[in-house]
Structure 1
Amino acid sequence: MMKKLSYIYGLLLLLSVSCTDDFEEINKNPNSPDVVTNVGLLLPNAIRASVNKSYSSAYDRGGIAANLLASDFASNFSNWTRADATGYFLWNYYDYIRDLNEVISISEKQNLKNYKGVALVLRSWMFQSLTDIYGPIPFREAANAKLQGISAPAYETQEAVYAGILADLAEANTLLGAGNETVTGDILYNGNTANWKKLANGLRLRLLMRQSKRVNPTAEMQKIVADPNTYPLFTSHKDQAALEYLADMQANESPFYRSGNGGTNTKVSKQLVDYLKTTNDKRLFIYALPTPASSAIDANGNRPDPSKFVYAGDLNGIGMFPNANITSPSGMLWMSIQFSPDLASAKGGQGIIMSYSEVQFILAEAAEKGFISGGSAAAGNYYLKGIKDQFAYYASRVPANYAASYLKLSPASISADDSYFKQEAIAYTGTAAQKLEKIGVQKWISLYQIGFEAWSEWRRTGIPKIPVGPVGPGYVPRRMFYPADELRINEANYQKAVSWLGADDLKSRVWWDVN
């Protein structure tokens, strides 16, 4: 009996040692490996998740702040809370920045220039989005707990963050295309480093213009524009930075496709609808749906002719919508199957990081202000290119089945003839101030559903003038609160950032937001 017990004890001891030896191996998470050998594995989620977050946050908050969309909840800006920051205002970008830091670290060790360039561009866009929303942010030390053991990263001023991002984008421009490796896992550009290079330079122009009231952008902008071989830019909407969604599996669908809103709580703003109607702008049929009341099926099972449809927006800051049936939901490209199972598209819309049109409007403003050569004549050319390509882009996104639907919407429906461009509100005429306002308005329209970019442009330019509704704090926010966790786990660095801002509230202005 003793021999048997000894044998059993020995066997258990052996198994115990074996289990202990294998414990680390057995308990490794295969989806979060300690050692990454193929950095391309880290790219798909970083791209998809960040673009989806930007895309959905544009609908939830960004478009509302810019008065492109109206909401019966989020437009009451007193409801913007610290709890909103992580979910709606992109603070969780730091999760994806952590993965990109790892891509950069591994790429440096293995001399993977193309991978590093892609990661620098993508990370730069995320940092730009964050700093424009909050002001000072954790930057060089951000998301480096795994690589450097930093769990309480220091904040940096927005001026320093902008300088760092611009330096990273300039480095990316030299790296992309200089490596021998093929980039895998790139679901945005399928490994096309030339297009990533165009995005890098477009983002440089975005940042240079945004900080232009603080830092003169002339030398850097002229360097980019004067040498397109070294500093290429988008040539049309066909190479702009837009994530194409797929209908083959739920993970790759548009984030709006299965959303729960169904067009009831968020509408198109009155300001946008009225402007598009006044100028007979056919983008109205992309940005908005007819009001439910005007397009409803009658007692005989018929819908009215589309010429009878009504398009009407609502005002932000009025509280609950008085009657949701008499205002227009956002366009079908952003609508869920809950609203229309037959017409909702899993891949009609795209998650846009930066468009060709935005780059053209930046160049138009730069030429009009003398930052780049060409003066008003060149500015008018850039301006027209920006508008025309917007129409061409949205015409290309209309799903084929819309033509036979009650919407009767085809690519030909989204067009602009000569009469459109001859209108006083559109034609590139008038004083310099009037021309800059026309650029600003067209840029505002073009930034529909592109993150928080329209809000940032409104803060920078004041164009267009946004009415303030009676419900809420009485102003449109200039920034967002930091998340509550920062007060708890990174308090000393948080307090330093607040001292630069003056106060951690919605009225404080970020560095480039100059009166």
Structure 2
Amino acid sequence: MFKNIITLFIILITLFVTACKKNLAEINRNPNAVEDPQPDYLLTAAEKTAADNYWGADNNFNSSLLLIQHWAKIQYTEPDRYIFSNSSFTSLWNTGYAQVITNLNTIIRFPDEKANKNYKAVATILRSWTFQLLTDAYGAIPYKESGKIKETLTPVYDSQKEVYFGLLDELKTAADALDPAAGSISGDVLFGGSLDGWKKFARALRLRIALRIADREPEKAREVISEVTASLSLLIAGNGEAARLVYDKPPLQNPMAAWFSTRDDYRVGKTIIDKLYALNDPRLAVFADKPADLSVTNYVGVPSGLTNSDANNLGFSKTSKPDSVFFRSDANPAMILSYPEVLFNLAEAAARGLYNGNAADLYKQAVTASLQQYQIADNTVISTYLNQPAVAYNPANYKKSIGEQKWIALYGQGLEAFAEWRRLDYPQLAPGASGVLDGKIPVRFIYPGTEQSLNGANYKAAVAAQGTDNLLTKLWFDVN
């Protein structure tokens, strides 16, 4: 009798938990959401939300752009001094999971008659990029169980190695699945429905991730690089083929433009202005404006990590804002993956012996493509720049040559520049002047505080395996 009561109790508890999950899934349903969502609308929303999340304030110019010293703060300087909390980095996580990945998973799960396999492949590629941003920033993340609310409300965290390996496989499968015969896609504001564009983006992402793992898993990196370079015509092959969202029509408003229309918090960092001056770099005039005070004739950057009073004392009109082109919706796309980056990645793969190419020549092509990306097309100017000893490729220290020029080329792409700086260890940046981390620069984002309360057991397991959840814990890919 007692055993029967226990058995009945267990059954009732199981039914109760199952019902709770179902009810919670219903409670979390957005009452304003469309009951019969269409794949083209979901795709547009996911692309726009993902690009804005990448390009906007929280994950870019109020965090990662400050950490890698492209920009600095002229007021409200706490983020520039590394004063962050577990509520500082919620946007990348919450928007990435709750909006972008959720919309993309919906497309992927549609029946074939509602979304052809090209929609599903494109959704997988864009989702892979989102997961890549998440693991680059935080490390271990929910990946395999992510978005499966009907199966679990507390997804397990996968290690960064597992995530990168999973993404490499997903991207390959998705790129191979793209087939013009399967039907067209609509609502694509990144590539205008071009399946070739998505194939090239997927392969370029695989190349990027292969180099993320190269210091840890060189043979896996070699295998992937061999696959993506088997036909270079299937990689991004020009500035016009870059993965980017062009804010050229409503409601595609550039988040940088929106911010600067009402705020005046940021200036170009002294670190990058000094470097561009030292290299006689023609991109300086594209990256920065001269100060509003006409008595100041040079570009003036703001040092990283100043106190509010020290920053204010420099003078709003005596320091350089980012060039006004960055605030024009039609002229400043959210750059997701550029042609110069592809060339730098090929150059590094060759330098590491993972690709049979000429590293020095690919490096020159990468720098040239970056100059051309910013409308610097004069061959004499480009040649003069490349022939400087400080710019010339150094095979004895490829990480320095590629790292410094890639850092310049990734101007404005805070999250990607932050990842590459940690991986290549160049340029060698000095910590913020009044930073609070004992002379160190953050090397990761902190998990959102809600993870501790809503997914506590899995959060604790991830932290135990990865290291303390603070700004200075190096991630798996960050070897040196």
Q: Place the TM-score, normalised by the shorter chain, in its bin.
A: 0.7 to 0.9
Assess if the C-alpha contact under 8 Å between 1:391 and 1:415 holds in 2.
Answer: no
Q: Aligned runs of 1:150-299 on 2, under 5 Å?
A: 150-177=152-179, 179-216=181-218, 217-228=221-232, 232-247=234-249, 249=250, 251-260=251-260, 264-294=264-294
Once the two structures are TM-superposed, the CA of residue 348 in structure 1 deviates from its matched residue by 1.1
Indicate the percent of aligned positions where both proteins have the same amino acid: 31
Q: What SS class does the counterpart of residue 267 from structure 1 fall into?
A: strand
Q: 1:417 to 1:479 in 2, by over 3 A?
A: closer
Once the two structures are TM-superposed, the CA of residue 138 in structure 1 deviates from its matched residue by 0.8
Aligned equivalent of 2:46 = 46
Q: 1:171 to 1:310 in 2, by over 3 A?
A: same
Amino acid at match of 2:396: A
Q: 1:390 to 1:424 in 2, by over 3 A?
A: same
Once the two structures are TM-superposed, the CA of residue 256 in structure 1 deviates from its matched residue by 1.8
Choose from 118, 124, 129 the match for 2:122.
118
Give the number of equivalent residue pairs: 439
Show CA shifts across 1:446-474 (max 9, x none).
11112401111111111001111331223
Q: Give the distance between the partners of 1:364 and 1:458, measured in 2 at CA.
A: 16
Q: 1:203 to 1:487 in 2, by over 3 A?
A: same
Assess if the C-alpha contact under 8 Å between 1:69 and 1:269 holds in 2.
Answer: yes
Q: Give the distance between the partners of 2:351 and 2:377, measured in 1 at CA.
A: 32
Q: Give the distance between the partners of 1:119 and 1:79, measured in 2 at CA.
A: 36
Q: What SS class does the counterpart of residue 88 from structure 2 fall into?
A: helix
Q: Give the distance between the partners of 2:407 and 2:197, measured in 1 at CA.
A: 24
Q: Give the distance between the partners of 2:269 and 2:217, measured in 1 at CA.
A: 34
Assess if the C-alpha contact under 8 Å between 2:371 and 2:382 holds in 1.
Answer: no
Q: Give the distance between the partners of 1:168 and 1:490, measured in 2 at CA.
A: 26
Assess if the C-alpha contact under 8 Å between 2:66 and 2:80 holds in 1.
Answer: no
Aligned equivalent of 1:401 = none
Q: What SS class does the counterpart of residue 290 from structure 1 fall into?
A: coil
Q: Give the distance between the partners of 1:161 and 1:69, measured in 2 at CA.
A: 30
Once the two structures are TM-superposed, the CA of residue 34 in structure 1 deviates from its matched residue by 3.9
Q: What SS class does the counterpart of residue 423 from structure 1 fall into?
A: coil
Aligned equivalent of 2:396 = 432
- Is 2:338 the counterpart of 1:373? no
Assess if the C-alpha contact under 8 Å between 1:177 and 1:194 holds in 2.
Answer: no
Amino acid at match of 1:331: D
Q: Give the distance between the partners of 1:319 and 1:33, measured in 2 at CA.
A: 47
Q: Give the distance between the partners of 1:366 and 1:315, measured in 2 at CA.
A: 34
- Is 2:370 the counterpart of 1:390? yes
Aligned equivalent of 1:514 = 479
Q: Give the distance between the partners of 1:31 and 1:184, measured in 2 at CA.
A: 23
Q: 1:370 to 1:289 in 2, by over 3 A?
A: same
Show CA shifts across 1:218-252 (max 9, x none).
122122212336xx1011110110111124x3x21
Once the two structures are TM-superposed, the CA of residue 353 in structure 1 deviates from its matched residue by 0.9
Q: 1:392 to 1:102 in 2, by over 3 A?
A: same
Q: Give the distance between the partners of 2:356 and 2:111, measured in 1 at CA.
A: 38
Q: Give the distance between the partners of 2:158 and 2:96, measured in 1 at CA.
A: 17
Assess if the C-alpha contact under 8 Å between 1:202 and 1:234 holds in 2.
Answer: yes
User: In angstroms, what is the RMSD of aligned CA positions?
Assistant: 2.2
Amino acid at match of 2:45: N
Aligned equivalent of 1:458 = 421
Q: Give the distance between the partners of 2:48 and 2:380, measured in 1 at CA.
A: 31
Q: 1:77 to 1:164 in 2, by over 3 A?
A: farther
TM-score (norm 2): 0.86
Once the two structures are TM-superposed, the CA of residue 103 in structure 1 deviates from its matched residue by 0.7
- Is 2:114 the counterpart of 1:134? no
Q: Give the distance between the partners of 1:495 and 1:103, measured in 2 at CA.
A: 32
Q: Give the distance between the partners of 1:85 and 1:191, measured in 2 at CA.
A: 33
Q: Give the distance between the partners of 2:95 and 2:115, measured in 1 at CA.
A: 29
Assess if the C-alpha contact under 8 Å between 1:246 and 1:347 holds in 2.
Answer: yes
Aligned equivalent of 2:433 = 470
Choose from 367, 378, 385 the match for 1:420.
385
Assess if the C-alpha contact under 8 Å between 1:101 and 1:144 holds in 2.
Answer: no
Aligned equivalent of 1:309 = 297
Q: Aligned runs of 1:307-386 on 2, under 5 Å?
A: 309-320=297-308, 321=311, 322-323=313-314, 324-335=316-327, 345-374=328-357, 378-386=358-366
Deviates more, 1:282-291 or 1:90-99: 90-99
Q: Give the distance between the partners of 1:75 and 1:464, measured in 2 at CA.
A: 21
Aligned equivalent of 1:66 = 68
Assess if the C-alpha contact under 8 Å between 1:242 and 1:351 holds in 2.
Answer: yes
Q: 1:470 to 1:279 in 2, by over 3 A?
A: closer
Once the two structures are TM-superposed, the CA of residue 74 in structure 1 deviates from its matched residue by 4.6
Assess if the C-alpha contact under 8 Å between 2:247 and 2:330 holds in 1.
Answer: yes
Deviates more, 1:132-141 or 1:323-332: 323-332
Amino acid at match of 1:317: G
Once the two structures are TM-superposed, the CA of residue 113 in structure 1 deviates from its matched residue by 1.8
Q: Highest CA radius of gyration, 1 or 2?
A: 1
Aligned equivalent of 1:16 = none
Aligned equivalent of 2:55 = 55
Once the two structures are TM-superposed, the CA of residue 76 in structure 1 deviates from its matched residue by 3.8
Q: Aligned runs of 1:83-122 on 2, under 5 Å?
A: 83-87=87-91, 89-94=92-97, 95-106=99-110, 112-122=116-126
Q: Give the distance between the partners of 1:354 and 1:41, measured in 2 at CA.
A: 23
Assess if the C-alpha contact under 8 Å between 2:39 and 2:115 holds in 1.
Answer: no
Q: 1:31 to 1:171 in 2, by over 3 A?
A: farther
Structure 2: which 5+ residue stretches go unaligned? 1-28
Assess if the C-alpha contact under 8 Å between 1:77 and 1:477 holds in 2.
Answer: no
Q: Give the distance between the partners of 2:124 and 2:138, measured in 1 at CA.
A: 21
Once the two structures are TM-superposed, the CA of residue 114 in structure 1 deviates from its matched residue by 0.8
Q: Give the distance between the partners of 2:348 and 2:302, measured in 1 at CA.
A: 30
Q: What SS class does the counterpart of residue 252 from structure 1 fall into?
A: coil
Q: Give the distance between the partners of 2:390 and 2:148, measured in 1 at CA.
A: 50
Once the two structures are TM-superposed, the CA of residue 90 in structure 1 deviates from its matched residue by 4.4
Once the two structures are TM-superposed, the CA of residue 500 in structure 1 deviates from its matched residue by 1.2
Amino acid at match of 1:93: G
Show CA shifts across 1:488-515 (max 9, x none).
1111111111111221111111111112
Q: 1:111 to 1:242 in 2, by over 3 A?
A: closer
